[in-house]
């Protein structure tokens, strides 16, 4: 009996340690959105979140039909350097949005999040005009790098997006598929920017630490399960 009890205790200890390890692994990611409030977020250049950003059923929903002054890109209060961001998004028909990162928030010098930040495109490829433009489709690093595949789901369904940036190595994933890889801030990067629509934009794509933004492009979009791990 004593031997049985001792063995059971050992087994329980092993299972507890394994469970604790798994919990710690999960805790490597921090929630950026609590599912209930806009705590930790504000509209670019403001102190609070615009009223068009509504918390509904555990999602952040941009409602274009809200008050005229209630919009603006939603940005994190905190800046991030090396990180692994995960979130889910879905769009309404013909909608456009984006996940923008390395945003330097200085509205007097830079009028918008995309003045400095890089964007993983969020889009209805078939319904929005941008879907006809190379490097402007869902999953692309907007106007810079085309996705090597398009695992995007139909309009109205949830997509999982991941952005992993670590010491200049950038990777974008869509629905578990690696769709973009590139290196930030080296000579090739500078050359690529110089051939894009961002050529001549002072500060664009140069900041190695910045905020993360969800874009108000005037269309209905939903985000949820937003988590981040600092690397």
What pLDDT digit, counting tens, does each position of 192-219 carry? 999 999 999 999 999 999 999 999 999 9
**What's the pLDDT at 70?**
79
Q: Are both 20 and 59 inside the same structural domain?
A: no
| pLDDT at 7 > cutoff 80 | no
What range defines the domain where residue 17 resides? 1-29
Q: Are both 64 and 159 inside the same structural domain?
A: yes
Q: Are both 114 and 208 inside the same structural domain?
A: yes
Q: Are both 16 and 116 inside the same structural domain?
A: no
Across the beta sheet with 74-76, the strand order is 41-43, 74-76, 211-214, 96-103, 118-123
Q: Are both 194 and 224 inside the same structural domain?
A: yes
What is the spatial distance between Cα 25 and Cα 77, in angstroms, rounded to a whole number? 25
Q: Are both 68 and 9 inside the same structural domain?
A: no
What pLDDT digit, counting tens, does each position of 24-43 carry? 345 699 999 999 999 999 99
Q: Are both 88 and 177 inside the same structural domain?
A: yes
Number of domains, the chain: 2
Q: What percent of the chain has pLDDT over 90?
A: 85
Q: Out of 10-14, 135-139, 167-171, 180-184, which region has the weakest mean confidence (pLDDT)? A: 10-14
Q: Are both 124 and 188 inside the same structural domain?
A: yes
What pLDDT digit, counting tens, does each position of 53-83 carry? 999 999 999 999 966 777 899 999 999 999 9
Q: Are both 148 and 161 inside the same structural domain?
A: yes
Q: Are both 50 and 10 inside the same structural domain?
A: no
> How do beta strands 221-230 and 53-56 pair?
unpaired
Q: Are both 20 and 36 inside the same structural domain?
A: no
Kind and range of the H or E element at 178? strand 177-183
């Amino acid at each position: 009996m004593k031997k049985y009890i001792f063995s059971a205790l050992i087994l329980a200890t092993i299972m507890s340690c394994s469970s604790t390890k798994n919990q710690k692994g999960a805790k490597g990611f921090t929630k950026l959105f609590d599912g209930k409030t806009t705590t930790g977020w504000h509209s670019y250049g403001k102190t609070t979140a615009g009223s068009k950003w509504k918390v509904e059923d555990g999602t952040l929903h941009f409602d274009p039909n809200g008050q005229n002054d209630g919009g603006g890109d939603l940005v994190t209060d905190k800046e991030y350097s090396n990180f692994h961001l995960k979130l889910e998004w879905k769009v309404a028909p013909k909608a456009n949005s984006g996940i923008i990162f390395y945003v330097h928030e200085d509205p007097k010098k830079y009028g918008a999040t995309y003045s400095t930040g890089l964007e993983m495109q969020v889009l209805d490829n078939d319904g929005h005009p941008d879907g006809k433009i190379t490097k402007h489709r869902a999953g692309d690093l907007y106007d810079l790098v085309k996705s090597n595949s398009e695992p995007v789901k139909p309009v109205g369904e949830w997509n999982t997006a991941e952005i992993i940036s670590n010491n200049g190595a950038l990777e974008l994933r869509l629905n578990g598929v690696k769709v973009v890889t590139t290196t930030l801030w080296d000579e090739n990067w500078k050359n690529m920017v110089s051939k894009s629509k961002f050529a001549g934009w002072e500060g664009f794509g140069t900041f190695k630490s910045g905020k993360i933004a969800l874009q108000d492009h005037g269309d209905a979009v939903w985000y949820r399960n937003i988590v981040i791990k600092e690397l």
